Amino acid sequence: MHRKKPFRGRTEGKRKFIVVTGGVISGLGKGIFTASLGRLLQSKGMTVVPIKIDPYLNVDAGTMNPIEHGEVFVLDDGSEVDMDLGNYERFLDMNLTCDSNITTGKIYKKVIERERCGDYLGKTVQLIPHITDDLKDWFMKVADDNDADVELIEVGGTVGDIENLIFLEALRQLSMVEDVIFVHCTLVPVVKVVGEQKTKPTQQSVQKLRGIGVQPDFIFLRCEVPIEQKIISKIALFTGVPEDDIIRGQDLKNIYELPVVLENQDVHKKVMDMFEIKKRSGNGLKDWKVMTDNMKNARKKVTVAMTGKYTALHDSYVSIEQSLKHASALVGCDVGIKWIETTDIEKGKTKAKDALKDVDGILVPGGFGSRGTEGKIECIKHAREQGIPFLGLCYGFQLASAEFARHECGLKKANSTEIDENTPYPVIDLLPSQKNVYKKGGTMRLGGQDVIIKKGTKAHKLYGSLKVRERFRHRYEFNPEYREKLEKSDLVFSGHDKSGDIMQILELPKHPFFMASQFHPEFTSRVLKPNPLFLEFVKACARKK
């Protein structure tokens, strides 16, 4: 039996919380750690629900530039959230709601709106207790609503930041009334010349945390190399965290190995003992290990060209990258990505056929605005004419329609009105529901919608169903006036919305694999259940190879 924690609060109840904080530097992989711990606990028969706290003032991630902040992830309920929620959904195979992402903007807005309604009955409204009380209620409600054994709360930012202080205070208060375990993630840097591992940043970061009134129960140590035992002992001495509860987090080649790395250190047992949760029966990590072994043993390597304008920051396409990775694990190959900056093709710095030589597939992801779009259209043309497997996502679907209209239907200069307002053939135009929308935050056509699939098409074959649910994030759509014209030239719209007006999947039946979707299949792809579009695309790439 591992040590118990003398919780100050209610111990007989069901709700348990694990709070994950970060120290020393940002980008330590707290999100992956939280998701992996969640997966491990699930595999031992527990139900979990995650919450990500983002201490910025934006109400949600929807208005943020992916170059600055990474991808905007879209949940089924239509909320635009931090990309960490994507990792949670993929690792935990859960559909989360907007309640799993709290930002400073969101919580302040809630309290300020209540103040405007006079709900505080003349009181002075303050950070403590009003914001902290609301936060505590939020944490408890999410655990109850999801009937979760364990709620995982990841605090964004680094301990010592001004921005996340109020959240840490709320969590400290939560630990006075509920069962809360704190896990602090830090870094053990290695001084290159002497190869010495350093503990001071961890010591100081834990001191900072203690200054806020939080003593961590576990420490998760990131390090480039295996951590020496004497380093663990020293950190235990200085932080008051027993050696046994210091988790080793050596850099991994593959992030999906982390749940197994944690299992090998009995982290689940230690957490369950501390919470006094009795042993449950779960499915274990067998399937998970098969998947990571497949990734490790893949011999065949395929290369997919990813065309875009955010290629400078790969985090803007993280869900696509991961979806390709899960799909390839199932196919038994290894997918490498070749990033193609389409503005270079547009400006004539390079030719599409040169940039795309040696690739086994071409993927055109979502995007906004006109920069780089002509370059993307050239890449699509190349894929179509050369029989290279092609997958277009959202903007990729729209641009594939424009390319086909231009070069196969004689509609010269066909375009999206997002790119060229005066195009003679607006094959892509604003959705009617978007015509009077001026505000930017949360106003696109967002979230999960049904896609009705046409019988006998490739889409039907790969989904194996005539109705599926996929997630959307767009303002423009294929203009139904041009449908007949394109379909006469061998393009098939194999998926549409319930009304039949909004086109949602297109395919070229005579091409080895040419498909595009108005939705984002990368938002529904799960580690052990890749989205069928990705799976078939990767299979087609492997066949081409």
Our answer to whether residue 474 is catalytic in this structure is no
Least Cβ distance, residue 435 to ligand GLN (angstroms): 13
Distance CA 5, CA 240 (A): 13
Catalytic residue chosen out of the listed positions 341, 522, 536, 541: 522
Only one of the segments 124-132, 259-267, 474-482, 509-517 lies at the binding site for ligand GLN (rule: CB under 6 A); that segment is 474-482
**Interacting residues with ligand GLN between 49 and 108 (CB under 6 A):** none
β 503-507/415-416 pair status? unpaired
Q: Which residues of 343-378 are buried (b: 16+ CB within 10 A; e: fewer)?
A: bebbeeebebeebbeebbbbbbbbbbeeebbbbbbb
Please give the distance of CA 519 from its chain centroid, rounded to a whole number: 16
Given a contact cutoff of 8 angstroms between Cβ atoms, the answer to whether 120 and 129 are in contact is: no
Only one of the segments 18-26, 111-119, 196-204, 365-373 lies at the binding site for ligand GLN (rule: CB under 6 A); that segment is 365-373
Our answer to whether residue 333 is catalytic in this structure is no
- The smaller minimum CB distance to ligand GLN, of residues 64 and 261, is found at 64
> Quick one: CA dihedral 345, 348, 349, 350, positive or negative?
positive
Distance CA 92, CA 62 (A): 23
**Residue among 23, 78, 367, 392 that touches ligand GLN (CB under 6 A):** 367
Least Cβ distance, residue 181 to ligand GLN (angstroms): 38
**Which residue reads 């307002």 in tokens?**
421
Our answer to whether residue 520 is catalytic in this structure is yes
Least Cβ distance, residue 364 to ligand GLN (angstroms): 10
- The smaller minimum CB distance to ligand GLN, of residues 63 and 126, is found at 63
Distance CA 134, CA 191 (A): 44
Beta-carbon contacts of residue 434 (< 8 Å; ≥ 6 apart) = 443, 444, 445, 475, 476
Least Cβ distance, residue 367 to ligand GLN (angstroms): 5
3-state helix, strand, coil in the chain (%, to 5): 40, 20, 35
> Can you state the angle between helices 318-331 and 286-297, rounded to 10 degrees?
90
**Interacting residues with ligand GLN between 422 and 461 (CB under 6 A):** none
Least Cβ distance, residue 45 to ligand GLN (angstroms): 38
- The smaller minimum CB distance to ligand GLN, of residues 21 and 323, is found at 323
Least Cβ distance, residue 278 to ligand GLN (angstroms): 46
Question: Phi/psi at 427 (nearest 5 deg)?
Answer: -70, -20
- The smaller minimum CB distance to ligand GLN, of residues 22 and 367, is found at 367
Least Cβ distance, residue 429 to ligand GLN (angstroms): 10
**Interacting residues with ligand GLN between 374 and 413 (CB under 6 A):** 394-395
Least Cβ distance, residue 264 to ligand GLN (angstroms): 40
**Residue among 71, 217, 418, 522 that touches ligand GLN (CB under 6 A):** 418
Report the amino acid identity of residue 101.
N
Question: Phi/psi at 290 (nearest 5 deg)?
Answer: -60, -45
Given a contact cutoff of 8 angstroms between Cβ atoms, the answer to whether 89 and 326 are in contact is: no
Catalytic residue chosen out of the listed positions 394, 409, 511, 541: 394
Report the amino acid identity of residue 74.
V
Q: For residue 426, what are the CA distances in angstroms to 379, 380, 420, 421, 500?
A: 20, 18, 8, 8, 19
Only one of the segments 228-236, 469-477, 498-506, 537-545 lies at the binding site for ligand GLN (rule: CB under 6 A); that segment is 469-477
Alpha carbons within 13 A on the beta-carbon side of 374:
11
**Residue among 88, 167, 182, 476 that touches ligand GLN (CB under 6 A):** 476
- The residue sitting closest to ligand GLN, measured at its beta carbon, is 366
Q: For residue 158, what are the CA distances in angstroms to 65, 106, 205?
A: 21, 20, 9
Nearest to 154 by CA among 70, 51, 69: 51
- The smaller minimum CB distance to ligand GLN, of residues 50 and 308, is found at 308
Per CB under 6 A, 474 contacts ligand GLN: yes
Q: Which residues of 237-275 are buried (b: 16+ CB within 10 A; e: fewer)?
A: eebebeeebbbbbeeeeebbbbbbbbbebebbebbbbbb
**Residue among 366, 389, 426, 447 that touches ligand GLN (CB under 6 A):** 366
- The smaller minimum CB distance to ligand GLN, of residues 367 and 372, is found at 367
- The smaller minimum CB distance to ligand GLN, of residues 192 and 440, is found at 440
Given a contact cutoff of 8 angstroms between Cβ atoms, the answer to whether 305 and 388 are in contact is: no
Per CB under 6 A, 310 contacts ligand GLN: no
- The smaller minimum CB distance to ligand GLN, of residues 19 and 428, is found at 428
**Residue among 473, 485, 511, 539 that touches ligand GLN (CB under 6 A):** 473
Number of Cβ within 10 Å of residue 3's Cβ equals 12
Please give the distance of CA 231 from its chain centroid, rounded to a whole number: 34
Least Cβ distance, residue 321 to ligand GLN (angstroms): 16
Least Cβ distance, residue 392 to ligand GLN (angstroms): 10
**Residue among 475, 483, 526, 544 that touches ligand GLN (CB under 6 A):** 475
**Interacting residues with ligand GLN between 161 and 180 (CB under 6 A):** none
Q: Binding-site residue total for ligand GLN (CB under 6 A)?
A: 10
Beta-carbon contacts of residue 355 (< 8 Å; ≥ 6 apart) = 305, 340, 344, 345, 379
- The smaller minimum CB distance to ligand GLN, of residues 22 and 366, is found at 366
Provide the 3-class DSSP secondary structure of residue 189.
coil
Only one of the segments 128-136, 227-235, 284-292, 360-368 lies at the binding site for ligand GLN (rule: CB under 6 A); that segment is 360-368
Per CB under 6 A, 478 contacts ligand GLN: no
Per CB under 6 A, 368 contacts ligand GLN: yes
Per CB under 6 A, 48 contacts ligand GLN: no
What amino acid positions are annotated as catalytic residues? 394, 520, 522
Give the footprint of ligand GLN on this chain (CB under 6 A): 366-368, 394-395, 418, 473-476
